Structure 1
Amino acid sequence: MREILLVVDVQPSFAPPDWLVTGIRTLAKRMPSVATVERHDESHTPFDRQLGWHPARDDDSLVDVDRVFIKYGYLPPREMLDYLVAMQLARVLVCGMQTETCVLAAGYMLFDAGLTPTLITDLTIGSSLDRTGELGTALWRHHFRQLTTIAQLAA
């Protein structure tokens, strides 16, 4: 099956737990992979003005991947979407930080482009609203239906 791993915002600004970084690093070594890194530029996205917080201006991915795409805000950049569409993938395996926000936003963008986003439920963590990621997983199941786990991928 032609697939790729999309690692969403696993970067220092979001303080991902070690188990998440380790699990994603292990999987990224086994398959083609890309990542998004969210950086701050108030002229792109008003994090400071509206939320009183912002990611760093110079964060990098904590996972070595084939290609990193910089984004400003919740949505992945168009450049990443064009890259993935051109690959004619069977599915995009999605993992990372903030299941109910940035990860879900990536799912919508992938789905709208005709791709098959598939959430790796045990390699994602929610935002401070829901660290378990259960809310984001439920929304993902409702909108895209495609879920998997590390064990299912290894089988």
Structure 2
Amino acid sequence: MRQALLIIDVQPSFSPPQWLIDGIQLLIGKLPSVSTVEPHDESRTPFQRQLGWHPTADDDSLIAADRIFIKFGDAPSPDTIEYLKSLNLDRVLVCGLQTETCYLAAGFALFDAGLKPTLLTELTVGSSLDRSSSLGMRLWEHHFKHTLTSDELRTCLQTS
């Protein structure tokens, strides 16, 4: 199965837990990987004006993915989606931060591009509204259906 890993916003400003970083790191080198980073640019995404907070302008990915793409807002950039499409994938495995916001935006972008978004259930952290990710995972299953546990992913990687 042709698949790639899309890592959503694992960057210092969003304070990812160490277990998430460690879990994602275990996948690096086992399949193509892409990471998104959302730096602050108030003219493009009004974090400060609307939320009273913003990531730093110079944030970088905490994961050494094969490719790193900058995005402004919740969805991956068009360049990110085009790159993933160019890989001719069977599915895109999604992990990282903000399950009920940035994840869903990525899921819709992947789905609309004809890719098969698949959430890695044990490598996700929700927003401050729901750090457990349960809301985001329920929404994901409703809209996109496909999820994988760590055991399912391990089996899949061993057979490919």
With structure 1 as the length reference, what TM-score do the two structures score? 0.98
C-alpha RMSD over aligned residues: 0.7
Where does structure 1 differ by over 4 angstroms across 4 or more consecutive aligned residues? Answer: none
Q: Aligned-pair distance for 1:15?
A: 0.5
Q: Aligned-pair distance for 1:29?
A: 2.7
1:5-58 per-position Cα deviation (integer Å, ceiling 9, x unaligned): 000000100110010000001112311100000111011111111111111101
Q: Aligned-pair distance for 1:68?
A: 0.1
Residue 84 of structure 1 aligns to a residue in which SS? helix
Mapping for residues 31-70 of structure 1, pairs under 5 Å: 31-70=31-70
1:71 maps to which residue? 71
In the alignment, the residues of structure 1 paired with residue 57 and residue 116 of structure 2 have an alpha-carbon distance, to the nearest angstrom, of 31
Q: Aligned-pair distance for 1:108?
A: 0.7
1:22 aligns with 2:12: no
Residue 27 of structure 2 aligns to a residue in which SS? helix
2:113 maps to which residue? 113
**For structure 2, which runs of at least 5 residues remain unmatched after alignment?**
156-160
Mapping for residues 88-107 of structure 1, pairs under 5 Å: 88-107=88-107
Q: Aligned-pair distance for 1:104?
A: 1.3
In the alignment, the residues of structure 2 paired with residue 15 and residue 46 of structure 1 have an alpha-carbon distance, to the nearest angstrom, of 20
**For structure 1, which runs of at least 5 residues remain unmatched after alignment?**
none
Q: Aligned-pair distance for 1:87?
A: 1.5
Which amino acid is the alignment partner of residue 52 of structure 1?
G
